[in-house]
Copies of this chain bind each other. A is one copy, B any other.
Amino acid sequence: MIILKLGGSIITDKAAKEPTVNHNHLNRIAREIKNSNTSDLIIVHGAGSYGHPFAKEYSIGKPFSSDEDFQKKRMGFAITQSWVKKLNSIVCDALRKHGVPAISIQPSSFITTENKRINKADISIVDSYLKKGFVPVIYGDVVLDEDPSIQMAVVSGDQIISYLAKNLLPERVILGTDVDGVFNKNPKLNKDPRIIETLSSLQELDSVDSTTTVDVTGGMIGKLEELLKLAQLGIESEIINAGCNNLIEEALKGKKVPGTVIKK
């Protein structure tokens, strides 16, 4: 089994003010996935400009101060859920157009968190879809949280990957992002950045400010924290640039491609 992440910054224009799909990337990646002929594949995608602006505007995951604030946040939750669901429809449709039997899985229908960490999620259905040859497509979403002070939370694609991986023990986890891998320091702010080929701990970074984008789900650091926990369980993952032609396809086919491997 392979779990493949499609980053929100690749399949959407993350800097856009309105939810905007990057159809070029999405269609190319859908074709690469089809061409790789991968069986036993789960796709997890981020929300990009379909989720982060709304989750941020309504401070989903932050405590509310009054009944009025709660009601506003509740409507913001519904709005965010609606947009990320629309993105998921677009992703599934693009995959299906290329012949991939993509099936949508909506986290907010069956996952809850406690203090922003998944505490309940019956993922046996993901396994059932896999066994029938579907490609389940699950995504970063808003979910109910059992902590009474927040009640609602964002569950990132990366946290979902981590949860799925711990429970389904995939052979490989591939993260298609908008960067060439993990840099030792932020390439936009520093000279001579270099890609770290293998990472086992955050201490190996010269600076934790090593991502080009920061989002409500924690950016690259949030991603690495999830992946390092997996590494501790013996599940290796790799971060590659999904913006470069053929990297997703080659990685799915098991070829060594440029990027960063996270392992114990």
Contact between chains at B125 and A144 (CB < 8 Å):
yes
Does A82 reach chain B (CB closer than 8 Å)?
yes
Which of B78, B101, B109, B132 has a CB less than 8 Å from the CB of A144?
Answer: B132
Does A129 reach chain B (CB closer than 8 Å)?
yes
Q: Which of A9-17, A28-36, A89-97, A244-252 is the contact stretch?
A: A89-97
Contact residues, A151-168 vs B (CB, 8 A): 151-152
Does A122 reach chain B (CB closer than 8 Å)?
yes
Interface magnitude class on chain A = 35 or more
Binary CB contact string for chain A from 104 to 123 against chain B (1 if under 8 A, 0 otherwise): 11111110100000000010
**Chain B residue, CB-CB nearest to A107:** B109
Contacts A74-B133, A102-B78, A133-B74 given; does A110 touch B93 at CB 8 Å: no
- In angstroms, Cα B86 to Cα A71, docked, is 26
Give chain B residues whose Cβ lies under 8 Å from the Cβ of A81: 103-104
Does A257 reach chain B (CB closer than 8 Å)?
no
Does A85 reach chain B (CB closer than 8 Å)?
yes
Contact between chains at A125 and B109 (CB < 8 Å):
yes
Does A212 reach chain B (CB closer than 8 Å)?
no
Does A50 reach chain B (CB closer than 8 Å)?
no
Give chain B residues whose Cβ lies under 8 Å from the Cβ of A54: none
Determine chain A's interface SS by DSSP, over half rule.
Answer: helix
Contact between chains at A78 and B105 (CB < 8 Å):
no
Give chain B residues whose Cβ lies under 8 Å from the Cβ of A202: none
Contact between chains at A134 and B74 (CB < 8 Å):
yes
- In angstroms, Cα B138 to Cα A133, docked, is 26
Contacts A82-B92, A85-B104 given; does A132 touch B75 at CB 8 Å: no
Does A128 reach chain B (CB closer than 8 Å)?
yes
Contact between chains at A110 and B125 (CB < 8 Å):
yes
Does A79 reach chain B (CB closer than 8 Å)?
yes
Give chain B residues whose Cβ lies under 8 Å from the Cβ of A144: 125, 128-129, 132
Contact between chains at A78 and B96 (CB < 8 Å):
yes
Contact between chains at B134 and A78 (CB < 8 Å):
yes
- In angstroms, Cα B133 to Cα A79, docked, is 15
A-B residue pairs, 7 tightest by C-beta: A106-B106, A110-B110, A109-B109, A106-B109, A105-B109, A74-B101, A78-B101
